[in-house]
A and B are shown apart, each in its own frame.
Chain A
């Protein structure tokens, strides 16, 4: 009996230890640079980016039958945190071969953590086939670190049936100025009771799009913040306040609420990157009643245009990658295959930045949801005219500071004072 108790006790002590040890086995992710014919990719959004990767894999496999793509779904926030952690702890051996990165975050990551990247100088990619404004996001000191993927070209999407009730068409909202827009939108609101725009409170998306449409940025060419004495920014903020005060722009508190406003029809339009098309199309009962056009331009600001961008991302090759294979894969698919872009466009709405893709017939096919308009051809045409903007490493700090300033201005603060405060916050963050 005594021996049995001893044995039982011994097992009881050893068992948890064994379980813990097995739990501490190696990581479940496969870092890059492994098998010669497999590439690991980190990307987000299964219906958009990951879907595009799967199609690209099939196309590349036509010429390289042994090729495999190992896609790990990683939301952007997590991906950014992972990159920071790996770079900071100098564990670059855990990086995948390729990862997707928001265009706005490129400068920050390349400048702070150059050890994460392999640049594209040795690759076959012809960067002149991409619009300069987009390739600039991932270019640092004239070296390309990213291959542009989806376009964040901004569109104005409107409910044609609501406009018709007030006696307007989409043409009345094309190539106009913001003053004009406010007048017409107030009319629509008075007649139909529906505002034309919505967005997250405290988010600077709308203002950033207005700013970029005038070719202005939050930083100058030398990387110094230009928030305080920025006429275009002041004009954008004043326009935004007018929109909110007149009830034309509805502020909500979360992203889901924002999507809900136009999906359930309480708002009759939106201004956002073209990727919003996927969300608009989830409202199946509104099919045939939407159309898209370009943005209104800022009044009284030199260099104002009707085109802008918001978002968009590019592929980066990591420093731990099988660089030759990764760059060849990207060059043959995302920078070399019109077939790929033709396949992914209808289902995901992924508008290419790659110019040859824009010439394809798929782009000129009419979209039923958008009343027969060939929206993608229009978007590619807009994309060519989008002005560049300077992001720099501190872009997110500047955006956050401007968001805080907007919240204060809506709450009644003086715009000039709020912007001066935002400028000093950013200068403080820059050290």
Chain B
């Protein structure tokens, strides 16, 4: 046999598939185990603190009963079946989706426009504008809800303002439509700045040459914004859309502090109803857990749809 035709020496493996000529705890494996070793405490913590309670909540949602007398329901999905017949729950789902469909798009578009305006290198007092628009986010949810509630009271600031112009005072918090309107207004005021910061950051990553090229091709400001800037902001739009959807579906503080569920449940959100079922009425924690899971499913489904539509990465 010559060196040219000799078969290469294969690695010898024993019956366990290990390579006896290399130590078991070789460099690769050691690196791998070290990595796992560092990850393990955090992973265990997350499993114990997040995932185990989620499984417990699911088991709770299969039980029914008042107070501490909880027993497995018969049939097991009794709570889920029950919530389909719950008129108030359906009302709260409707309310929350109204907030989602009306508030989120307006807020995101407004945030984008504001970010674009603030990104203008010729703008004066930029720091002031950015702070002023972001400041509402630093305010506590309960504080601003209570202030809005006082402002829109029957004898509040807004009605006084309207009266100064000779208009009729409006019963803002006493009618279903206006109560929801006030809540949406509050949400817009509070969260636009937050999303604007994300868009500002995204705009920093856009190459100015693409905008200049569009300008040179004769596009006006609106066309530049819509055709050049927005498509490049796509990942940020996706991020803020998913975050906003998640936040709006889980809305609680405004429903609780601003409108207290509004006139006859007209502005109550799903989470607020969950709280009511669990703590204010005769406590039925099994049913509350089932409501929580429905919210989870809704958020997951919407997030999935948004990822499908929005994420064009390979």
Contact = CB atoms under 8 A, between A and B. Distances in A.
B67 A87 contact: yes
B85 interface: yes
Contact of A396 (B82, B85, B87, B280): B280
A251 B265 CA distance: 18
Contacts of B155: 257
Interface in B104-141: none
A15 B155 CA distance: 52
Interface residues of B, number: 26
Interface stretch (A34-42, A49-57, A277-285, A402-410): A402-410
A14 B283 CA distance: 43
Given A84-B283, A254-B153, A403 B264 contact: yes
Interface stretch (A1-9, A108-116, A184-192, A375-383): A108-116
A407 B263 contact: yes
A251 B174 contact: yes
Contacts of B279: 80-81, 84-85
Contacts of B263: 201-202, 407
Contacts of A424: 87
Contacts of B88: 425
A394 B66 CA distance: 11
B33 to A, nearest CB: 25
B281 A112 contact: no
Nearest to A403: B264
Contacts of B173: 253
Nearest to B277: A429
A428 B86 contact: yes
A257 B67 contact: no
Q: Which of B67, B86, B279, B283 has the most CB of A within 10 A?
A: B67
A149 B280 CA distance: 23
A88 B154 contact: no
B264 A429 contact: no
Contacts of B68: 87-88, 90, 112-113, 115
Contacts of A202: 174, 263-264
A112 B87 contact: no
Interface string A236-262: 000000000000000111100100000
A257 B283 contact: no
Interface in A74-127: 80-81, 84-85, 87-88, 90, 108, 111-113, 115
Interface string B273-288: 0000001111111000
B153 A257 contact: yes
A431 interface: yes
Contacts, number: 69
Nearest to A77: B280
A115 B149 CA distance: 39
A393 interface: yes
Given A425-B87, A429-B282, A253 B67 contact: no
B64 interface: yes
Contacts of A88: 67-68, 283, 285
Interface in B233-283: 263-265, 279-283
Interface in B268-314: 279-285
A187 B6 CA distance: 120
B264 A408 contact: yes
A105 B87 CA distance: 25
A420 interface: no
B85 A428 contact: yes
A90 B281 CA distance: 19
Nearest to B281: A397
A400 B280 CA distance: 11
B265 A404 contact: yes
B154 A108 contact: no
Contacts of B265: 404
Contacts of B280: 80, 396
- A-B pairs with lowest CB-CB distance, top 10: A112-B67, A404-B264, A407-B264, A407-B263, A112-B66, A253-B173, A113-B67, A397-B281, A201-B174, A81-B279
Interface of B: 64, 66-68, 82, 85-88, 149, 153-155, 171, 173-174, 263-265, 279-285
28 contacts: A80-B279, A80-B280, A81-B279, A84-B283, A85-B279, A87-B68, A88-B283, A112-B67, A202-B263, A252-B154, A253-B171, A253-B173, A253-B174, A254-B153, A257-B155, A394-B281, A396-B280, A397-B281, A397-B282, A400-B281, A404-B264, A405-B264, A424-B87, A428-B82, A428-B86, A428-B87, A431-B66, A431-B284
Given A87-B68, A421-B87, 13 more contacts: A84-B279, A87-B67, A108-B282, A112-B68, A253-B173, A253-B174, A254-B153, A394-B282, A407-B263, A407-B264, A408-B264, A424-B87, A431-B64
